[in-house]
Amino acid sequence: MVNKRSLFSSALAAGLALVLVACSGDSDDAGSPAPSTSTSSTPPPSSTPAPSTPASTPSAPVAKPRTAAELTKALLALADLPPGFQIEPNEEDDGTRLTSKDPKCASLVRLFNAKTAPGSKTEVMRVFSGGQEGPFIQESLDAMGTPAAATTLLATTRKAIESCRKASITIPGAGTSPVSVTEVAPPKAGTSPVAARFAAASGPLEGFEITFVFAGLGDVVLSMAFDSSADIEEPTSDAAAKATKVLGTAKTGT
């Protein structure tokens, strides 16, 4: 049986930051996962056509591009978390994939399997663990260039989540299981927050669960991922507060 650390690391390495990349064609069934692509240390993580702009369009672009060093300073550090956490190395993509025959899930499948976000200029990521069995937390910050681009990405993500309720996940070496996709109440952090939970209730990955949270911080998108044992409220709020302070982005929103 694959332990929780291996499953969570595989899921994160697959590009589960749920960012849209333009791919042509629908996904195959669970027995035919998409070809493997390696994640970069700066994903979410090559974008082609950008999704359509939503009705809400925030203000003007930032004066200059965000740098990786600037974004890294804005990530949570060990000192920001309870005692017992450690920083995990960023894993390479091992071929973990989401698949579905339902056309309504095509966008979510592309999001799940994507390597990079459309329009993301710079991205940094950090993964924390509280031990072999968790809790596990991933934080990513994507500099989108403008608040409008950040809002577009969040709107596209929300629409993809709302359109798909069931799919299958394949983790090489562990197996394939059906997963339910549930939109959950996101922590009140940043602007246009959205959250979704993927859970496997049967098959070889039974018990596997991961929750994603996304929020806008001005021109930056905050992405968080949690295993089933992690609290999503406090880390997300703390991550948003720190990034807002360090980067000088918008403080609140809905």
CATH at residue 186: 3.40.1000.70
203 inside domain: yes
253 inside domain: no
103 inside domain: yes
Considering the entire predicted model, what is its pTM? 0.75
Q: Which residue is associated with the tokens 């968080």?
A: 224
231 inside domain: yes
Domain count, the chain: 1
* Residues spanned by the domain of 120: 4-247
234 inside domain: yes
pLDDT in tens, the chain (254 residues): 334 444 444 454 443 434 323 222 333 333 333 333 333 333 333 333 344 444 444 544 445 789 999 999 999 999 999 999 999 887 666 678 889 999 999 988 887 887 766 678 898 999 998 887 778 899 999 999 999 999 999 999 999 999 999 999 988 888 899 999 999 999 999 999 999 999 998 999 888 889 999 999 999 999 999 987 778 999 999 999 999 999 998 644 44
167 inside domain: yes
- The helix (H) or strand (E) run that includes residue 157 is helix 147-163
E strand residue ranges, 130-203: 136-143, 166-171, 175-184, 191-199
252 inside domain: no
254 inside domain: no
Taking each helix axis from N to C terminus, what angle separates 147-163 and 106-113, rounded to the nearest 10 degrees? 120
The CA distance from 175 to 165, in Å, is: 20
- Beta pairing class for 86-88 and 122-129: antiparallel
